[in-house]
Structure 1
Amino acid sequence: MLRIAHVPVSCAVLLLAWTMALPAQDTSTDVSSETAKMQAMAARIDELVQTRLDREKATAAPLATDGEFIRRAYLDLVGNLPTVAQTRAYLDSDAPDKRQQLIAQLIKSPAYPTHLANTWRALVLEPSDDPQRLQNEQGLQLWLRGKFSQNVRYDRLVEEFLTATQGSDGPGYFYASQDLKPELLASETSRIFLGLQLECAQCHDHPFDRWKQQDFWGLAAFFAQLERPGNDNVIGLGRFDIVDRDMGEVTIPETDQVVPPAFPGSKADYASLGGTRRQQLAIWMVSRDNPYMPRRAVNWAWAHMMGRGIVHPADDMSPQNLPSHPELLDELTDYFIRSGFDLQLLLQTIAITDTYARSSEAVSDSEAPPELFARMAVKSLTPEQLYDAFLKVGLLKTDVTMMQQDGQRIQFVARLRTASKDRTFFDTGMPQALAVMNGPPVSTATSPETSGLLKALSAPFLTDEQRLNVLFLAAYSRPPYPDELKRYQEFLQTAEPGQQSAALGDVLWVLANSAEFMLNH
């Protein structure tokens, strides 16, 4: 047995991974070779999806228009709309590989890790409309952004998350938000990193799955020795440090039966390696003994880009919930592992496929079921995306302090935060919609006195057609259709003298409150 009990856990994890013969990361510096591998995998994805479509006699949607694609890619990879200038440059380009160029550019953008951190913070933490809790989440947000900006190996990210102790700049708030309860931590970590819904086995054996009560509490035992320093309740103080004790057990509810730590579906034993229980869990998480972690990561990446997972829901990958494309999930998982758990490369590979580039419009009355991926799923914008979209099109005042902007953002996100983690499920109710349509920031920012965009469009040398083109490019990443242009030109011509800017504000209000603006399609 390899002696690594006194090696720091991050080193121990990697050493153990090597001894267990995980596929090695390709360290070749040949960029063209790596690009070729990525393109080959993208082509294989399209082939496997098309094979299933052919088998089901389903028709795939055509490729999205350039305007649809650039808007979708920006929202999915950097969380915001492209500028008018960026959209125009993309629409005017005739480069045959401009889709691949755009994706590569977005992946390298500093906005990419910020958006991924937003996405993962929402995945890790339960939704809240409490501004104080949203403020407390910023430590985890910054920690995640740092990892994604460095493109840290996904297995290393998982290991660091599971063994974190310094909460002010790490995942400590996650542990604090679960009150350090072993059963809650077991339930959430299995969902987030394994795609297993073990909580149904908490009180009794799972009625429809393989998991027994012993499996659930065996995982919970890895979290049974945690406490806050001094046992202080620091949940509201912005610092969430935790320590690992050398004592603490779990028992089956209403019994005296102590359950030792055990990995779900595995008889592996890493106790002899030493370290804390969480370190032992982290070692198993990134080893080849754990078949769940890489498949869950791949399924999350697919769901993030495509709107639904190869297994749906994306966090329920039990043996009873079969994938729609088993071979695709297997091959993508192998690709992910061989890349060195490169999450950025995985997202980039999915993004350059024709499957991702398809239109969201139905192509026939007998529409193919969503699990065939015949067309792109329509996704709602997250509250953060919607706020940034308002900012991008000039619907937010920019002449305020950074502190005021942060407070405004937190309040906005709190009002529109929803319970569902499925972006294809639209559960924003009438109160949230009215808050957007009639309250700040939209009601105050569609006037020429407060909107920077409308002020810019008031230049006398611009025609109404040019002004409308700018508004549509800003909101929809496309020029207006002929009938839209005609209708809005007629509307602007009816404006009273001196009220043209106000009429443009009305147009902007209509565009910003449309489904086309509020959805990622």
Structure 2
Amino acid sequence: METTAVTFMGMSLTCARCHNHPMEKWTQDQYWGMASMFARIGIKNGDIANEVIVETYPVGEVLHPRKGVAMPGAPLDAPAMKAGNSEDPRVVFSQWLTAKENPFFSRAIVNRVWRNFMGRGLIEAEDDLRVTNPASNPALLDALAEEFIKDGYDMKKLMRKIVLSAAYQRSSLPNAMNENDDRFYSRFLPRRLKAEILLDACSEVTGVPTPFNQILSRAGDAKTAYAGYPKGLRALQLPDASVASRFLDAFGRPERAQACSCERQQDSTVGQALHVFNGNTLNEKLRSKEFLGLQWISENLSSEKIIERVFLRALSRKPNADELTRFLKIMAEADPKDPKSKQESIEDLVWAVLTSKEFVFNH
């Protein structure tokens, strides 16, 4: 229940578990009423490693730890379910959560999506929405939340509004007036791409999908072959963090043990550089038979055309004159009579672009 509240409402109810919340309006009775909304759910281990089966029960309520009475299920600030109601409390909860008059869900989701694109939420931290922690721009948060409700909670429309905004499209180059601003969006704050997005981008540029064919034990110290994920599945589509991937781990993949972006590590490390230089992920893509560079060679494209294609695929722009000159000079060193030599020059070109700041960072 606490995880659900943090994820979809952006608030922590933990303090109300043992007593009335000292800073907010939530009471201990409300906490255990909310807990009863999830009392009919149970889990058990499945037949294969890491499989968890969710079961639902026809009845079930939790006991108030201090009063010793069964608490009927009740969403926050909403009437309790009537005794004997056979409807799944989760359905009742979801209807309450997404009701137009409920401010919690829309504000929490808007704030999370805003933070995902901007690097900082309108309310920070993103799971700390409370009266005593106001938004940096309350009018903007309210307007986006209202639009989100009017649009039927359409995530794509919300994302479109944010990425088309002047705040998102501002330059990341600082000036004397905004070089110290990290709160009011006077400039875009450069951030390294998230691990999953970076891996998927490398797959897209090279034309070589990443195989996800091993899963980790619960202790994380053993790998088991697994053929459940289809070829071409993106890292961003992985349902959990059980898939073995040194690249994702090196670049800060979160464990997903809790609903908090604080799990994700965005710092640059020596391990990341070593994996890019010596690890299998990028090097195997460049040496794969599916590598697009081989197709370009078979099409007998000129060096200039190949450089242009790499830049367009990776950076969505053509190389400038200086970049083109430098890469043409490097590719000219390849033996024109040796296909392997030309392939290696293309591998070097792609590797250089994929490890550049322009590719690795959102700026």
Q: TM exceeds 0.5?
A: yes
Could you tell me how far 1:226 is from its partner in structure 2? 2.4
Structure 2 equivalent of residue 271 of structure 1? 82
Paired residues, number: 329
Structure 2 equivalent of residue 242 of structure 1? 55
Contact 1:195 1:317 in 2 (8 A): yes
SS in 1 for 2:170: coil
Q: Structure 2: any 5+ residue segments left out of the alignment? A: 214-226, 236-242
1:507 aligned to 2:357?
no
Structure 1 equivalent of residue 204 of structure 2? 392
Contact 2:331 2:346 in 1 (8 A): yes
Could you tell me how far 1:377 is from its partner in structure 2? 3.5
1:405 aligned to 2:228?
no
Could you tell me how far 1:511 is from its partner in structure 2? 1.6
What amino acid is aligned across from residue 487 of structure 1 in structure 2?
A: R
Structure 1 equivalent of residue 254 of structure 2? 418
| 1-structure distance, mates of 2:84, 2:58 | 17
Q: Using CA pairs under 8 Å that are at least 6 residues apart, name the structure with larger relative contact order, 1 or 2.
A: 1
1:355 aligned to 2:197?
no
Q: 1:233 to 1:504 in 2, by over 3 A?
A: closer
Structure 2 equivalent of residue 445 of structure 1? 285
1:219 aligned to 2:42?
no
SS in 2 for 1:242: strand
* 1:457 aligned residue (284, 292, 296): 296
Contact 2:114 2:162 in 1 (8 A): yes
| 2-structure distance, mates of 1:364, 1:197 | 39
Could you tell me how far 1:189 is from its partner in structure 2? 0.7
Contact 1:418 1:428 in 2 (8 A): no
Q: 1:369 to 1:203 in 2, by over 3 A?
A: farther
| 1-structure distance, mates of 2:344, 2:89 | 64
Contact 1:227 1:245 in 2 (8 A): no
Q: 1:344 to 1:470 in 2, by over 3 A?
A: closer
Could you tell me how far 1:432 is from its partner in structure 2? 4.7
Q: 1:504 to 1:283 in 2, by over 3 A?
A: closer
| 1-structure distance, mates of 2:170, 2:279 | 35
Contact 1:397 1:450 in 2 (8 A): no
| 2-structure distance, mates of 1:248, 1:267 | 17
What amino acid is aligned across from residue 317 of structure 2 in structure 1?
A: R
SS in 2 for 1:303: helix
SS in 1 for 2:280: coil
Could you tell me how far 1:276 is from its partner in structure 2? 3.8
Give the superposed CA RMSD. Answer: 3.6
Contact 1:368 1:374 in 2 (8 A): no
Q: 1:428 to 1:198 in 2, by over 3 A?
A: farther
Contact 2:9 2:104 in 1 (8 A): yes
| 2-structure distance, mates of 1:494, 1:377 | 39
Q: Structure 1: any 5+ residue segments left out of the alignment? A: 1-185
Q: Which structure: greater strand fraction?
A: 2
Q: 1:468 to 1:314 in 2, by over 3 A?
A: same
What amino acid is aligned across from residue 224 of structure 1 in structure 2?
A: A
Q: Which structure: greater helix fraction?
A: 1
* 2:307 aligned residue (454, 458, 468): 468
Could you tell me how far 1:368 is from its partner in structure 2? 5.4
SS in 2 for 1:223: coil
What amino acid is aligned across from residue 485 of structure 1 in structure 2?
A: L
Could you tell me how far 1:285 is from its partner in structure 2? 1.8
Contact 1:222 1:277 in 2 (8 A): yes
1:282 aligned to 2:94?
yes
Contact 1:218 1:263 in 2 (8 A): yes
Counterparts of 1:101-112 in structure 2 under 5 Å?
none
| 1-structure distance, mates of 2:329, 2:300 | 19
Contact 2:308 2:319 in 1 (8 A): yes
Contact 1:395 1:451 in 2 (8 A): yes
Structure 2 equivalent of residue 333 of structure 1? 145
Could you tell me how far 1:508 is from its partner in structure 2? 1.3
Q: For residues 127-172 of structure 1, what are the alpha-carbon distances to aligned partners after superposition, in whole Å with 9 as ceiling and x for unaligned?
A: xxxxxxxxxxxxxxxxxxxxxxxxxxxxxxxxxxxxxxxxxxxxxx
Q: 1:344 to 1:491 in 2, by over 3 A?
A: closer
What amino acid is aligned across from residue 472 of structure 1 in structure 2?
A: F
What amino acid is aligned across from residue 480 of structure 1 in structure 2?
A: P
Could you tell me how far 1:329 is from its partner in structure 2? 1.3
Structure 2 equivalent of residue 516 of structure 1? 358
SS in 2 for 1:371: coil
Contact 1:395 1:441 in 2 (8 A): no
Contact 1:227 1:242 in 2 (8 A): yes
Structure 2 equivalent of residue 492 of structure 1? 331
Structure 2 equivalent of residue 367 of structure 1? 179
Could you tell me how far 1:314 is from its partner in structure 2? 2.3
Counterparts of 1:244-323 in structure 2 under 5 Å?
244-252=57-65, 255=66, 257-258=68-69, 260=71, 261-264=73-76, 266=77, 268-271=79-82, 274=85, 275-288=87-100, 290-323=102-135
Contact 1:395 1:446 in 2 (8 A): no
SS in 2 for 1:390: helix
Could you tell me how far 1:293 is from its partner in structure 2? 1.4
What amino acid is aligned across from residue 474 of structure 1 in structure 2?
A: R
